Every structure is written in C-alpha cells, then in structure tokens.
Amino acid sequence: MTERLRSRGRRWGGWMGVAVALLVLLHHDVWLAEARHLVLGLPASLLYHLGYCLVASLVMSWLWRCYGASSAASPEDEA
C-alpha cells in the first residue's frame, strides 16, 4: 500500500507542478480587470475568484491524493 502510494506520488510529480503553475497563471484575471457588470448578482471578477477558490480546493484534494497520502504513508508517522 505504502509503495503503491509513493509510486503514485512520483508518477504525478510533473503534473502537480503543471497544475500549480496553471493555478498561479489563472489567478491574474487580466481579461476581467475592467469588467464592471454583474453576473448572478455579483461583480464578474469577484464571482471568478470565488470559482477559483472552489477549483483550488479540488486541486488541493488531488494534490493530497498524489503527494500528501504517499507522504502520510510513512510507517514512522503512525508510530
């Protein structure tokens, strides 16, 4: 189990970097910088950043499965 989780961590390492880099890029919503209209009752940029937080939570859940779970599987942690 531990080895399987660690191997998953190694396999997804590059993709984890890509996911984080994408999140950093998407944070800077220059295309909405001047948008002053409301979408679903909220300013467009604010709604975008709310959605961004939701996506961040999903990415973190995936990162935990790739890295955190394998890291947490160290036998000495459970001692």
Q: Site residues (CB under 8 A) for other proteins?
A: 20, 23-24, 27-30, 32-38, 41-46, 49-50, 52-54, 56-57, 59-61, 63-64, 67-68, 71-72, 74, 76-78
How many residues can be counted in the chain? 79
> Dihedral of the CA atoms 35, 25, 49, 13 (nearest 10)?
160
Q: How far is the CB of 35 from other proteins (least distance, A)?
A: 6
Q: How far is the CB of 2 from other proteins (least distance, A)?
A: 12
Task: Tell me the C-alpha distance between 20 and 46, whole Å.
Answer: 21
Q: How far is the CB of 59 from other proteins (least distance, A)?
A: 8
Task: Tell me the C-alpha distance between 47 and 76, whole Å.
Answer: 43
At 29, phi and psi to the nearest 5?
-80, 65
